[in-house]
Every structure is written in C-alpha cells, then in structure tokens.
Structure 1
Amino acid sequence: MTDLEYADHADALLLQIEQACDQITEESDVDLDAQRVGGMVTIVFPNRSQIVINQQRPLHEIWLAAKAGGFHFKFDGQAWQDTKGQGEFFAMLNRFATEQAGEPLNFSA
C-alpha cells in the first residue's frame, strides 16, 4: 500500500468514527464526545473514560487504546484487521465502546 492509499483509508476510518459518534449521540441516551485533532480521534464517554484511535503513518497502521488495552490494525484491502489476529476494527471498537458505555453501542463500517 502506498502512503497515499494508507492516508485515504485511514482518513475515511476516522471520519466514519466521528459520524458514528454523532449518530449514537442523536439516537440514544449515550452522550459521546468525539474530538479529532489531526490523525487522532478521542471518544469521551459519559463516565469520562476514553477510547483513542490514531494513525501511525510510518507503519501504515491504526492504533486503538481502550480500557481493555492497546491494539494495532492494518488494512487488508477490505477492512482494518488486528495485527495479532484478534479481529476486525469495528467489531473490536463496538465491544470496547459497549463495555465503557455500559450499554450496547454500534459503530459500523
């Protein structure tokens, strides 16, 4: 993957996350605050816990940090997959966000 291809896919991912946060806030009782600074999105939950997603341009990866730990993802041509085989990005984000919010949340690809 070229640097430009990585940037396009990574920027699209961060935009999807921001839009999903807005939709969740509009359609549920969970008030998420998504703050984007450059290549990083911080999701702040009502209990003040956070999930941080950021671009790692030199490695062509996306990193996700949640209460459950830190995870690295690479784009496989169709989706962002955990580099240690633990799953797809949005499936893992849904699980961690649900745990931190205390109710089901759905971030979709």
Structure 2
Amino acid sequence: MVAQMNDSEFNTLADLALTRIENGLESSGADLDFAMVSAGVFEIEFADGSKIIVNRHGAAQELWVAARSGGFHYRWDGQNWRDTRDGTDLMATLAKLVSAQAGEPVQLN
C-alpha cells in the first residue's frame, strides 16, 4: 500500500500521465482527435463519434477512464498507475481500448 499523496503530488503525477497519453496519441498516427477539454479532463474522439475520457479524480487520487467497454479507476502504486480491480497498467489498458475503438493498433509508450 502506497502512502497517501498530497494534492500537489497527485496533480503533478496525473498531469504527467495525461501528457504521456497525449504524446503517445500524437505519435501514433491513428485516425482520432484528442484534446484536454478542461483541467484534468482529456477526451479522445474517434471517427465513428465514440469517445474515451480520461480524467483526474482528486478526492480519490485516481485517474478514471470511461470507454465504450466500461469504466476503469487507476491509482498510483509508487511507479505506475494501476487498475484498482485487476492491477493492470493504465498505459497498456488504454492502448488496447484506443486500438479497439480506433480499429487500428495504437501504442502508448
């Protein structure tokens, strides 16, 4: 169990993750649009009009992902953002979700 972060630490780590997602999507060349639509809310829109939303949830100190296949919550484990249910890595899972909705492979490194 990782010790609770203060708000500043959480926001810094969350912003770094959102920037990493944005950079990964930018270099992927996939047919999709994405933008930070408000503070801590990142939206990915696909050619078919569907979306994936990644947002900071400060009260829980989690990153939340809403996708066509469901909702996911990620908590910082000291090294990575991990799903609170199955422990999978945020970037690996998000790459699969984006690939599925985009209909083409997308890597987020």
The two structures have a TM-score, normalised by structure 2, of: 0.90
Question: Runs of at least 4 residues of structure 1 off by over 4 A?
Answer: none
State the distance in 2 between where 1:32 and 1:20 align: 12
How many Å apart are 1:31 and its aligned residue?
A: 2.2
Q: 2:23 aligns with which of 16, 19, 28?
A: 19
The structure in which a higher percent of residues are helix is 1
Alpha-carbon RMSD across the aligned residues, in angstroms, is 1.1
Amino acid at match of 2:22: E
Specify every segment of 5 or more residues in structure 1 that has no aligned partner in the other structure, as ranges.
none
SS of 1:12 mapped into structure 2: helix
Q: How many residues align?
A: 104
Query: What is the TM-score with the length of structure 1 in the denominator?
Result: 0.90
Deviation at 1:86, TM superposition (A): 4.6
What is residue 85 of structure 1 aligned with on the other side? Answer: 86
Q: How much identity, in percent, do the aligned residues show?
A: 37
User: 1:17-56 maps to which residues of 2 (within 5 A)?
Assistant: 17-25=21-29, 30-36=30-36, 37-56=38-57
Gaps of 5+ in 2: none
